[in-house]
């Protein structure tokens, strides 16, 4: 078995992955704040760590991997939605409305991530279910001299752990102060000290604590939940690289100080950002669209998954229509090729060693997809089974593809002719390219061939639509 190599942010090198307990691997990934639908960027860590989870399950056994991903359901934006619903006449206490908003967002999230072929983690703790453990951890940090209470707040004292704070992100104290827009407050001993607990006003959710009614800071949530579910030392901690500082730096400080008997996480993995025109996609910048938007527009979830996996997780990436078109074509071809095949049950299936090898090399998903594509000409059955193992061509996507195929090709059937949806996407991407190159000859050629096959071509700003005309002859599509 090839060893798994992973790039560890902590050492900035690719290291062989050796679990603490050779029989049981433990992984924690920072999950979403559940105040609204996930944007496409939020889906990137989900897909990346899903691939790692699948690889680990293959190597160590499906029952020997524990994957925890939390939900942050303590948040001002959740409260704001609940409050405005209450003001608009919604029934229930504010606490109930807050919970309702989190529940609804979690439901959307699980649905959308499921559509991307992501397996659900073994544990999905909600911060609000671990408040007692957070309070206990904060008390312990105070007792050990790493935190102090002031004006209803509790702060972590970075000076109590000075030598190590900043080691993960490789920042000096001055860098951190400059980069973090550190909140200066009169009750802080050092401007870098961060909040473990803060007071809550009477009209907002809060919990009783030794420091008065209040709520936890964001960082302590992950430290407390990972300790409860995975222990003082575990193998892998993941998340986007936007979380490296301050969130992960603060998690390390809290966990290592509260549990000096452990080492917290050994391997730190960070995915790069999904970008829009060179900037991180984020809600605060307003340059985002949601996974739900794309699904609603008819982009299959597995197309999104494919586009993500074409780029290595440590490289920034853009979502572009041409990447989605390409993914659509490839997947469409795989569906055609495997439409009549029965998948091998996953329990009896051993994935192709070359695909496993690619993933074992710091999740080289691009190479894994190339090796998967190479199976097209060798064995459609192998293609189907390996694609499913990687989260593509699931039963649900197969069904959806059959429905769309029959619908879009107006009854051409699964006959091996390219269907009109695929040709429409092709024409659309040729047109996009032509607008840049100002050379429309390929667009015109394809349009001509479609006319000859009796296809009506409708082009508008919104896209391209192909409809079978009265003289439609599907056999003529074969020459295209
Ligand atoms: P948040 O709800 O903002 O805490 O984000 C949830 C997860 O999505 C974290 O792991 C973030 O690092 C990740 N994330 C947020 N924006 C992006 C992005 N544009 N590209 C990739 N990952 C992101
Ligand atoms: Zn976290």
Give the position of tokens 């359901």. Answer: 73
What six digits make up the tokens of 351? 């994935």
Which sequence spans correspond to the domains of the chain? 20-271, 303-479
Given a cut of 80, whether residue 162 has pLDDT beyond it is no
Band the pLDDT of 410: cuts 50, 70, 90: very low
Ligand closest to Cα of 127 equals 2
User: Of 418 and 455, which is predicted with more confidence?
Assistant: 455
Distance from the alpha carbon of residue 35 to the mean position of ligand 1, in angstroms: 13
DSSP structure class, residue 200: -
Residue nearest atom 6 of ligand 1, based on CA coordinates: 32
Give tens-digit pLDDT for 12-64. Answer: 999 999 999 999 999 999 999 999 999 999 999 999 999 999 999 999 999 99
Indicate whether residue 274 lines ligand 1 (CB < 6 A): yes
Query: Strands (DSSP E) along 9-112, which ranges?
Result: 13-16, 25-29, 65-69
> Is the Cα torsion angle 450, 451, 455, 459 positive or negative in sign?
positive
Give tens-digit pLDDT for 64-116. Answer: 999 999 999 999 999 999 999 999 999 999 889 999 999 999 999 999 999 99
Distance from the alpha carbon of residue 32 to the mean position of ligand 1, in angstroms: 7
CA distances from 284 to 34, 83, 280 (A): 15, 20, 10
Query: Strands (DSSP E) along 64-141, which ranges?
Result: 65-69
Indicate whether residue 41 lines ligand 1 (CB < 6 A): yes
Given a cut of 60, whether residue 130 has pLDDT beyond it is yes
Indicate whether residue 105 lines ligand 1 (CB < 6 A): no
Distance from the alpha carbon of residue 101 to the mean position of ligand 1, in angstroms: 20
Distance from the alpha carbon of residue 271 to the mean position of ligand 1, in angstroms: 9
pLDDT score for 44: 98
Helix (H, G, I), strand (E, B) or coil at 94: helix
Helix (H, G, I), strand (E, B) or coil at 156: strand
Measured CA to CA, the distance from residue 139 to residue 149 in angstroms comes to 10
Given a cut of 50, whether residue 413 has pLDDT beyond it is no
Cβ pair 212, 199 in contact under 8 A: yes
Distance from the alpha carbon of residue 70 to the mean position of ligand 2, in angstroms: 8
Pick the CATH number of 20-271 from 3.40.50.300, 3.40.50.720, 3.40.50.800, 3.40.50.620: 3.40.50.620
Give tens-digit pLDDT for 245-299. Answer: 999 999 999 999 999 999 999 999 999 999 988 899 999 999 999 999 999 998 9
User: Of 459 and 258, which is predicted with more confidence?
Assistant: 258
Indicate whether residue 30 lines ligand 1 (CB < 6 A): yes
pLDDT score for 182: 65
Distance from the alpha carbon of residue 221 to the mean position of ligand 2, in angstroms: 7
pTM listed for this prediction: 0.85
Give Cα 40 distance to the centre of its chain: 8
Give the position of tokens 């056994």. Answer: 61
Ligand 1 closest atom vs CA 38: 2
pLDDT score for 179: 54
Residue nearest atom 5 of ligand 1, based on CA coordinates: 32
Cβ pair 33, 282 in contact under 8 A: no
User: What is the phi-psi region of residue 231: left when phi exceeds 0, alpha when psi lies from -120 to 50, beta otherwise?
Assistant: left
Measured CA to CA, the distance from residue 143 to residue 147 in angstroms comes to 8
Measured CA to CA, the distance from residue 126 to residue 106 in angstroms comes to 10
Residue nearest atom 8 of ligand 1, based on CA coordinates: 42
User: Of 419 and 169, which is predicted with more confidence?
Assistant: 169
Helix (H, G, I), strand (E, B) or coil at 313: coil
Given a cut of 50, whether residue 416 has pLDDT beyond it is no
Given a cut of 60, whether residue 406 has pLDDT beyond it is no
List b or e across 278-293, with b for residues whose CB sees 16 or more CB atoms inside 10 angstroms. eebbbbeeeebebbbe
User: Of 40 and 407, which is predicted with more confidence?
Assistant: 40
Ligand closest to Cα of 125 equals 2
Q: DSSP alpha helices (H): ranges in 275-351?
A: 291-296, 301-310, 321-338
Given a cut of 50, whether residue 414 has pLDDT beyond it is no
């Amino acid at each position: 078995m090839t060893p798994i190599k992973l790039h560890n942010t902590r050492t900035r090198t690719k290291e062989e992955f050796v679990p603490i307990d050779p029989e049981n691997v433990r992984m924690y990934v920072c999950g979403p704040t559940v105040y609204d639908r996930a944007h496409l960027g939020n889906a990137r860590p989900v897909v990346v760590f899903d691939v790692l989870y699948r690889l680990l399950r293959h190597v160590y056994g499906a029952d020997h991997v524990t994957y925890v991903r939390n939900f942050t359901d303590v948040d001002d934006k959740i409260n704001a939605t609940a409050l405005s619903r209450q003001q608009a006449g919604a029934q229930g206490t504010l606490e109930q409305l807050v919970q309702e908003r989190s529940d609804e967002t979690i439901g959307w999230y699980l649905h959308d991530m499921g559509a991307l072929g992501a397996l659900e983690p073994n544990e999905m703790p909600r911060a609000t279910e671990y408040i007692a453990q957070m309070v206990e951890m904060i008390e312990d940090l105070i007792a050990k001299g790493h935190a102090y209470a002031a004006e209803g707040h509790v702060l972590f004292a970075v000076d109590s752990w000075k030598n190590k704070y900043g080691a993960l992100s490789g920042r000096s104290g001055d860098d951190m102060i400059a980069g973090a827009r550190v909140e200066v407050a009169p009750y802080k001993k050092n401007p870098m000290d961060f909040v473990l607990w803060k007071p809550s006003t009477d009209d907002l959710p809060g919990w009783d604590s030794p420091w008065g009614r209040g709520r936890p800071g964001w960082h302590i949530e992950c430290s407390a939940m990972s300790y409860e579910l995975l222990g003082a030392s575990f193998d892998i901690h993941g998340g986007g690289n936007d979380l490296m500082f301050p969130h992960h730096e603060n998690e390390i400080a809290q966990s290592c100080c509260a549990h000096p008997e452990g080492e917290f996480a050994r391997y730190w993995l960070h995915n790069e950002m999904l970008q829009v025109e060179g900037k991180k996609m984020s809600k605060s910048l307003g340059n985002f669209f949601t996974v739900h938007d794309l699904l609603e527009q008819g982009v299959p979830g597995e197309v999104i998954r494919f586009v993500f996996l074409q780029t290595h997780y440590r490289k920034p990436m853009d979502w572009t229509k041409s990447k989605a078109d390409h993914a659509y074509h490839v997947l469409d071809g795989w569906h055609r090729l495997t439409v009549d095949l029965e998948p091998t049950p996953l329990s009896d299936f051993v994935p192709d060693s070359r695909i496993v090898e690619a993933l074992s090399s710091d999740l080289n998903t691009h190479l894994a997809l190339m090796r998967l594509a190479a199976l097209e000409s060798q064995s459609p059955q192998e293609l189907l089974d390996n694609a499913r193992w990687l989260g593509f061509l699931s039963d649900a996507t197969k069904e959806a593809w059959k429905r769309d195929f029959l619908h879009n090709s107006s009854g051409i059937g699964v006959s091996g002719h390219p269907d009109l949806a695929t040709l429409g996407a092709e024409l659309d991407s040729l047109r996009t390219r032509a607008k840049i190159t100002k050379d429309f000859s390929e667009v015109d050629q394809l349009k001509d061939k479609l006319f000859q096959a009796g296809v009506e071509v409708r082009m508008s700003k919104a896209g391209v639509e192909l409809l079978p005309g009265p003289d439609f002859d599907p056999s003529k599509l074969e020459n295209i």
